[in-house]
Every structure is written in C-alpha cells, then in structure tokens.
Amino acid sequence: MEKKYKTAPFRCWDKAKTIRMNIYREIAEAKDKGRVLLGGGAESLIALPTGFDHNILVGEPYGASISYLYRENPDLYFQIVEAAEHAGYPRDLCAYMRNYLGSLILDKYIFGGHFPKLDFCLQSGFCDTHSKWYQIVSEIEKIPYFSLDLVPFDWEIAGESEKTKQLKRDYIVNQIHEAIVWMEKTTGRTFDDEKFIQGVINESESTSTWAKVCMLNRAIPAPLDEKTILSFYILAVLGRPRQDVVDFYRELLAETEERVENQIAANPYERARVITDSQPPWFALDFFRLLESYGVVSVGAHYSFGLSGGWEYDPEEKTWNAAKTPKERGVELKTRDDAARWLANWWLSTGTVCRGVRHSGAGKIQRVKDMVDKWHVDGVILHLNRGCEGTSLGQMDIVSSLLKDGIPTMTFEGNHADPREYDEKRTFARIESFMETMGLKQIYEFKK
C-alpha cells in the first residue's frame, strides 16, 4: 500500500527533550543552588510550592524512567526493584512507588549520583497509594511531610449537588492556606504570593493548551500518535506551572495547527484509529509501532489527555472541551486566596483522571465514549494495568459497555512500570488478532 499522507518530525521535539532533561538536572542541582527541593506526585497541587524558588521530584515519571532501565541497564533495574521488595513492600503495590522506593533505599538517582536529598514531601491523597507512599519516603528520609486531601468532584452525570461541590472547594482552599503556612515554617523561607499566582496561571495555561493540542488530534489524519503524545504530555506532568513548559505548549499548539492544516500525519498509512486506557508499559512502547504497521494510529488515551489536560464539561453538548484559563475567562488573580480558589476549582473541575480514580462507573464510560465519538475512533485497547489499580478502575465496565455499543475493544494485561508482569509476545499476538477482527491487514512487516 502506498503512503496516503505526508509526514514529518515535530520541529519542537528536541525542545521537549531539553526541557525534560533540564528539569531532572535542576533537581540534582537544587540543593547546591539554594533552592527548596521537595518530593510529591504528579496529581498533587504542584503549583502550590511555586511561591518558593524550588524544584519538585515528581514521583510517577521518575518511577516510569526507572522501569525503562530494564531495557538499557537491566542489572540496575533489578537491583532497584528488588531493594523495595527486600524491604518488605509487596509486589502487587503501585509499581511507580516500588521503583521510587528502591531507588531511594539504594541511594541511586538514575540520572546520576545519589538520590536527591529532599527538604520535605507534599502529596495529595487522590489515590490509595500516594499518601502512604510519601509517608514512607518521609520516614526513610526523616523529613517532614504534608498531605493534602483532595476529594474530587464526581462525574457530571452523577449530578452532584452544588453544596457538595462548594464543600470540596472550600476544603481544598483551606488546606492550601494551611500548607503554605506549614511550608514557610518548615523551610524557614517566605512564600512569594506573586510567584504563586503566576504558577497557578501557568498551570491553567499549560493544561488548557495541552487539551487544545489533544483536540486537534480529532483531525484525519491525526497529527500526533500516542507515542508522541506521551513524549509531550510528560512536561505538564513534571512541571506544568513552569514558564518554559507553558511556552513549549504554545509552540506545540501552533505547530500542531500547522500540521492539521497541511495534513501532516503521524502515521502516513493511517486508515484506522484507536485509543488506549491506563498508562502504557513504559519500557515496552513497541506495541504502538506494531499498530502502525497495520495503518492504525493510536490517537490518545483518557490517561494522557486527562492527566496533563484541563477539560471543561459542556452540559448542553454532553462533551468535554479545553477548559478556559483565567485570561480567557477575564479573571484576574490578585491575592493568595484568589489563586488558591482558582487552583482548587481547576483541580476539581478540569481533571478527569483524578476523578476517574475515585469514581469510575457511568462517568468514565461517558468520557471514553465521548473520545470514541469525537476522535473518530474505530477501536479501543485497554491496558489492564497490574501496577496501577487507580487507572484500572472501571475498566471492565468500560469494556462491556463499549462492546454492547458494537465498538471493537480488546484488553491486555500488564504493568506500566514492572516489566516482569508484561508478556510482550502474548500482547503482540492479542493485538494481531484484534487487527484481524477489525478487518485490517499488516501493511509492512514490523521489526523490533
């Protein structure tokens, strides 16, 4: 089969790589440069510490990076993961956490040198593991720990009352104020409200712009495939309140618009589109290449769209669009409290992954079906992720609901950050069978 579409590499690709490496380098250098260094997770309020000159070692991507060692340095990978197990942490716990703890216990930072000495941990209890994860880190490191209780909104379909929503907003706002006082006391530094306000604005800008990029992927041919999406979404995960990340996403949006206009495809053979669910096995992204060889482009995932994206529900159209930033809404954030309120509401109303970890059911099904419809999806691939029960929540009900609607759907079992629980050959065989059921034949032979 001949190529149907033009394709070209992203011009901003190298910039994304540079920002990512800069973030990890800055973490390693933070203490020498006199910056506050804290530990926490991606779904915490990472704009909250922006009132300090700081860096944050975000746990999940670090755990994912460790899993990639399995390909490049398997001896070190096994040393790390077995260190956590030797310390008694069961193998079925969050794989990110086990990788992170192993690295901490061994005192090996995989980007070079010792594990960075954190000043404190700041984490939210949005899933069952995260709060306990950083409790363990703070005990091992003998450092203070502040935990935020982020109780997400239910999905819109549940019809949660306005009073309940307001209680949730107020609960988070009050905790933000409490956390700021606690951080000032813990670090002995003064919290800069102006920097905080800018961090909150940047968080909204980054996540809203990322959602706009994702929406451009509705185009046929898709300008981005999921492997590329995962390379770009990570910047919001690592540092969405950073100015360089905001600037990057603006550049990416402009370039993606240009690709849509010029029909520059991620996959020159695009003839079918799928979406996935849950984090992929980070150490084994080749299954996306296998899909490509069938002319199939994976156009996104509830996970990568939602974790880095700010999405706003449109009750009339019953769909989600990129959430409006303070600037787009004409809102000026002037005080610490203004920023705290905006941040709390942004987290509660625009994050779809966190609410999917607490509430699955009909709401998550609605969102996945919305993606199938709006992104012109022909099939859905769900990763039954043994390493993250949070993102696996509701998956089986999603499968049966999609099948009921006649949407081709497949699952494969694996682990996003523990290669010992992923069977690549079996997964490939399942994908090949799935392609067959979708009536697709391989266009070219895929070689690893």
Q: Nearer Cβ to other proteins, position 37 or 357? A: 357
CA angle 168, 174, 175 (to 5 degrees): 90
How far is it, in rounded angstroms, from Cα 284 to Cα 417?
A: 10
Q: Nearer Cβ to other proteins, position 170 or 436? A: 170
**402 is written with which tokens?**
């999609």
Least CB distance to other proteins at residue 163 (A): 6
Least CB distance to other proteins at residue 193 (A): 21
How far is it, in rounded angstroms, from Cα 98 to Cα 90?
A: 9
How far is it, in rounded angstroms, from Cα 374 to Cα 369?
A: 9
User: Cis ω on the peptide bond leading into residue 221 (within 30° of 0)?
Assistant: yes
Least CB distance to other proteins at residue 187 (A): 16
If we measure between CA atoms, which residue out of 168, 293, 162, 296 comes closest to residue 226? 296
Q: Nearer Cβ to other proteins, position 92 or 373? A: 92
Least CB distance to other proteins at residue 430 (A): 16
Q: Nearer Cβ to other proteins, position 230 or 399? A: 399
Q: Nearer Cβ to other proteins, position 189 or 358? A: 358
Q: Nearer Cβ to other proteins, position 120 or 375? A: 120
Q: Nearer Cβ to other proteins, position 8 or 396? A: 396
What string of DSSP letters covers 338-368? HHHHHHHHHHHHH-HHHHHHH--HHHHHHHH
How far is it, in rounded angstroms, from Cα 363 to Cα 369?
A: 10
Interacting residues with other proteins (CB under 8 A): 87-90, 92-94, 125, 127-129, 131-133, 135-136, 138-139, 145-149, 151, 154, 161, 163-164, 167-168, 170-171, 174-175, 178, 357-362, 384, 386, 389-390, 392-397, 399-400
Least CB distance to other proteins at residue 42 (A): 17
Q: Nearer Cβ to other proteins, position 170 or 337? A: 170
Question: Terminal CA-to-CA distance of the chain, rounded, Å?
Answer: 21
Which residue type sits at 384? Answer: L
How far is it, in rounded angstroms, from Cα 157 to Cα 354?
A: 16
What string of DSSP letters covers 188-208? -----HHHHHHHHHHHHHHHH
Least CB distance to other proteins at residue 396 (A): 5
User: Do 268 and 5 touch, CB atoms closer than 8 A?
Assistant: yes
Least CB distance to other proteins at residue 12 (A): 36
Please report where in the chains the tokens 């961090």 appear, as a residue.
199
Least CB distance to other proteins at residue 134 (A): 8
